[in-house]
Structure 1
Amino acid sequence: MNTGARPVRPAPLIGLMMVLTWVTGMIEAASLLALGPAFTAMQTGNVLFLAFGLAHEGNLPALASALSLVSFAVGAVFGARLEAAVEVRGQRWFVTGLVVEGTLILAAAGIGWGLDPQYGHPGTRHLTATAVLAVAMGLRTVTSMRVNVPGLPTTLVTRSMTSLLAGSALGHDMALGYGTGSWARRAWAVAAMFTGGLTGALLLRAGCTVNWLLLPAAVVVFVVASVHLARPSLLTGGTR
């Protein structure tokens, strides 16, 4: 018996995780281009931004990146404790995580209501919104890791891109999914992140204030939670 096999996730759940990946692109467009420069989900970028800022190179202020890193850590710890506690009670931890995430994004939209994008010199409201979004993305990362859909971490695409190429006819790596058809899911994950970022950037180009970047993202997260709640078939594989 292969007890180490990964659980098979139903197609509707994979679709919902794709939508959440799109949301991440939207959030990163807001945090990097309108509030930062700082990422709120992809913390590798913040580690480097912080290093460059401390070295006073590249005109990258360290404060926004440092604040995002700390807030993300808070969100990850909070998310782990929250979802584990909800799971112990036999409740739907996936839905709970999404509802809390959506509420945090909505709070960030409230903080940024009418706030003009300001790249490079964030004010107090910009930094506060960044911190709240980073908490939300720390929680989301825990949620994504608990769901564990291979190739769909929802908050970064580096591994998805690598697996896509290595497991394709070009890479021919059986260990990374060559011949399994998983390349399509990985390609869609990359496309979802790109499309979310493009949507956010276009809204900025159209002159939207911070709240109009974040409100659609919050609404989509709540919709994903509602869809999951309404479909008992998505509870298979231990995902609640």
Structure 2
Amino acid sequence: MEKRIKNLTKRISFKAGRNFGLITSPHKKSFNKRIYRFINFKRNDYKNITAVVRCIEYDSFRNSKIALICYPFGMLQYILMVDNITIGSEISNFGNTIGDSMCLKNLKNGSIISNLGLHNKSCGIFIRSAGTSAVLIRNSNNFSLIKLKSGELRMFNDNVMCVKGSICDSEYFLRDLKKAGTSMKLLNKRPRNRAIARNPVDHPMGGRTKGGVSKTPKGKFSKWTPSVNVNKISKYRILTKRKGKYLTI
């Protein structure tokens, strides 16, 4: 592992879940200082210029590894690491091999992709976690039909940028945290308890009674309430939800 690059990193300290001693975000706590690495999620610069993978590093802010690439003129960048990429591998933007970034319209049906953007000018938003990937179903009428990891079928503009290949560390879900203290220190999580097990001053469902209708800590109904804005334009591009429910095209 190379020495920390100051232009690409930033030291961040956390004080999560509290505001002047009051709990603002429940079930969260502060944890150790970490170094944030600025990652290039857009992958749309330096067209057709080949870069070499210089090293592979661990990133404390994500569950997948990242790769440090170097261009011929000395530019260094961090990118998400894709499967079958090793030290010394050559990658480029707007290429056609695994690890290269490209537009959806330049891919064949059935291609495995990751680091997918939402629209033409956005950076990678979808498929960035360890071991995840999406499948290109078809291209038609300036739109591409993508099957996401959750099973959702969604339409994207065919000029959206993505990366060919799946994110590395496909066995990340098999990790063993050993003890509860690990999740509290590394994942900034605190224990969770049931609402009906609390006191009336802590939750509307607490106390000696049965609790009644499910509510949030602020007293709002937590069930039978739509959580998606029906006026969003993006709803017309979702063909199938995660649960397999068919929607309009």
* Structure with greater strand percent: 2
Higher relative contact order (CA 8 A, sep 6+): 1
* Structure with greater helix percent: 1
Bin of the TM-score, shorter chain as denominator length? under 0.3
- What is the TM-score normalised by the length of structure 1? 0.19
